[in-house]
Amino acid sequence: MNIQPGPHLKSQQRRRRMTKDLSLYNPGNIEEAMKFAKAMSQSGLVPDHFKGKPANILVAVQWGYEIGLKPMQSLQNIAVIGGKAALWGDSLLALVKQQENFNGIKETTEGKLQDKSMVATCEISRLLPSGKEDITVSQFSMQDAEQARLLNKPGPWQQYTKRMLQLRARGFAIRDAFPDALKGLVTAEELQDYPEEAKREPSKPVATPDEVRDVLEHSSADLFPDEQKIDEEVSHES
């Protein structure tokens, strides 16, 4: 008889795979984790906003673990803007596509840029436990961008207006359709557009090393699970 693993067993198996994926980032204690983060912060292979900020690196890795990203994926896909963590738009889409109840996405644009009539639309389909389809629709228009004072901002909004409209519509739709998968994260593109007074100084860390150490001491069992214990749990479940 071919028995399909249940949700709990699948979760344990995912944790087992993640343990193996953490082979280069598998510290035995918090001090080792801090040493790793410090070494990474001095590396030329991490994004600029992580250089010299080991506390930010540990927080980003923890955020990534919460949403299913490997440590190096977290550092490449999670941005720290104004002291807040966010995901780049393409990473956000890749994340929700991995969800078992993801059922499709449709992105369209209508209208013209010249007369400011363009509207970007994003439809996300999610399967409910009942098997029914739940569709979330979000739109972002040139008028929305103008009202938010985005069109006159130097950079992507002037150079790639259509793309930015699409990313904003996508971000809203994904957040509405999969809040459980994102756990409060927004797109980096959106966070970049927040008024400066709504953001903290980018150079400040998300948390101090002492604060990060305190958090990880209480969550290290989840962040760095014991593989033997997981094997025993999987065997017991099966």
> Is the overall model pTM greater than 0.85, yes or no?
no
Task: Tell me how far apart the alpha carbons of residues 96 and 105 are, in angstroms, rounded to a whole number.
Answer: 10
98, 160: one domain: yes
pLDDT tens, residue by residue, 84-113: 888 887 888 988 999 999 999 999 999 999
pLDDT tens, residue by residue, 110-154: 999 999 999 999 999 999 999 999 999 999 999 999 999 999 888
127, 71: one domain: no
93, 179: one domain: yes
47, 108: one domain: no
230, part of any domain: yes
195, part of any domain: no
70, 94: one domain: no
| Greatest pairwise CA separation for the chain in angstroms | 64
Task: Tell me how far apart the alpha carbons of residues 17 and 15 are, in angstroms, rounded to a whole number.
Answer: 5
179, 100: one domain: yes
Q: What are the CA-CA distances from residue 207 to residues 48, 56, 125, 213 (Å)?
A: 17, 7, 36, 10
Highest mean pLDDT among 30-34, 72-76, 203-207: 72-76
Number of domains in the chain: 2
Task: Tell me how far apart the alpha carbons of residues 3 and 20 are, in angstroms, rounded to a whole number.
Answer: 25
Task: Tell me how far apart the alpha carbons of residues 141 and 151 are, in angstroms, rounded to a whole number.
Answer: 11
Instruction: With a cut of 70, say whether residue 211 has pLDDT above it.
Output: no
Residue bearing the bigger pLDDT, 177 or 187: 177
166, 220: one domain: no
57, part of any domain: yes
216, 141: one domain: no
Residue-level pLDDT at 5: 44
Closest CA to 105 of 16, 3, 173: 173
69, 131: one domain: no
Q: Which range among 45-59, 69-83, 185-199 shows the weakest confidence by mean pLDDT? A: 185-199
Task: Tell me how far apart the alpha carbons of residues 32 and 171 are, in angstroms, rounded to a whole number.
Answer: 36
Which pLDDT band, with edges at 50, 70 and 90, does 179 fall under?
A: very high
Q: Which range among 35-44, 53-62, 219-228 shows the weakest confidence by mean pLDDT? A: 219-228
193, part of any domain: no
Instruction: With a cut of 50, say whether residue 1 has pLDDT above it.
Output: no
Contact 88, 77 (CB under 8 A): yes
106, part of any domain: yes
99, 180: one domain: yes
Backbone CA torsion sign across 227, 231, 237, 238: positive
39, part of any domain: yes
Domain region containing 218: 1-83+200-238
114, part of any domain: yes
